[in-house]
Amino acid sequence: MTRNHPDVTLLAHNYVRPEVQDAADFVGDSLELARLATRTATPYLVVAGVDFMAETAAILNPDRTVLHPEPCSSCAMALRLTPGDVLAARAAHPDAAVVAYVNTSAAVKAEADICCTSANAVRVVNSLDEDEVIFVPDRNLAAYVAARTAKTIHAVPAIGCCPVHQALTADEVRAARAAHPGAEVMVHPETTPAVQAVADFIGSTAAMIRRARETPAATVIVGTEVGLIPRLERDSPQKRFVPASPYLVCPDMKMITLELVEAAIATRSPVVTVPEPVASRARTALERMLALPEA
Ligand code: SF4
């Protein structure tokens, strides 16, 4: 799509519609998109994903213009947490560092010490000097990290979760396994601990793509947003991928249509702006994450 617009790079998340992924210059998870946003040179970046992803690209690229095709496309988990919640948690745990999952608003990132994604959350937490960590806003990812670190993790808010991944049940996973004997079950760390306990592999979408290439299983049950499945099929065409549940659909990711992407490129709008000093403070937390060595 951007062949006719050499001044534009289109970045798409693994969860957006397959036709948008097909049109993109790069497709990836949150960490890959954050890194790619800083490694491309075009004056315009179009982010096909939810609003925090476009904000992140704008924060990391203050000299470039970032377009978000549908500003109404917001992460329901990010909406559950305010900067005031972070400040209250800091007051309750004054010795703790604050780690903000990238699925947060710019205003929340501005109150954090460092950001993380599902791909690097354990490494980020273990990189800190502090023995206590306030982890926002996904309680399931917080529990996943807590099981893999010696540090004390305070999950804030106690109800924080992704409604899409939270809805997957261990019974649905068991039913999918029974329907596909011999299949490997991969789930995202945003799923509940009960679901993670019955999975064979837990990882970010990028980790799932790598695991899908390596597994000897001919069929893989996928416990994350269904948008990843066409990507897995393209990447490992000899294998079969089935959703752990048909309900693993993020409506906000699906708001990003090809028509809206085309309109954003044609009109060079809507432009994403993050005001100062929020942008500078959020950039510090993001750049601290990006400065960690890649796994
Ligand atoms: S899948 Fe969940 S975490 Fe990802 S954008 Fe949708 S609501 Fe947010």
pTM score of the predicted model: 0.95
Q: How many CB atoms lie within 10 A of CB 141?
A: 31
Q: What is the tally of structural domains in the chain?
A: 3
Location of structure tokens 């972070």: 86
Is 290 within a domain? no
Number of H helices and E strands in the chain, helices first, is: 15, 12
Owning domain of residue 16: 2-73+253-275
**Which residue, among 209, 207, 189, has the nearest Cα to 199 in the 3D structure?**
189
In a domain, 270, yes or no: yes
Give the model confidence (pLDDT) of 31-89 as tens digits.
888 888 888 889 999 999 999 999 999 999 999 999 999 999 999 999 999 999 999 99
From 161, 178, 197, give the residue that closes a domain.
161
Mutate to test the pocket of ligand 1, among 15, 29, 47, 50 (most ligand atoms within 8 A of CB): 50
295 falls within a domain:
no
User: Would 69 be classed as within a structural domain?
Assistant: yes
Q: For residue 172, tell me if it sits in a domain.
A: yes
Tokens 């790079």 -> residue: 9
Instruction: Characterize the bridge pairing of strands 97-101 and 132-136.
Output: parallel
Residues 152-190: pLDDT tens digits? Answer: 999 999 899 999 999 999 999 999 999 999 999 999 999
Q: How far is the CA of 6 from the centre of ligand 1 (A)?
A: 30
Closest Cα to atom 3 of ligand 1: 162
Amino acid at 204: S
Three-state secondary structure string covering 175-218: HHHHHCCCCEEEECCCCCHHHHHCCCEECCHHHHHHHHHHCCCC
pLDDT digits (tens, 9 = 90+) for 266-291: 999 999 999 999 999 999 999 999 99
Instruction: Indicate whether residue 57 lines ligand 1 (CB < 6 A).
Output: no
What CATH number is attached to the domain comprising 210? 3.40.50.10800
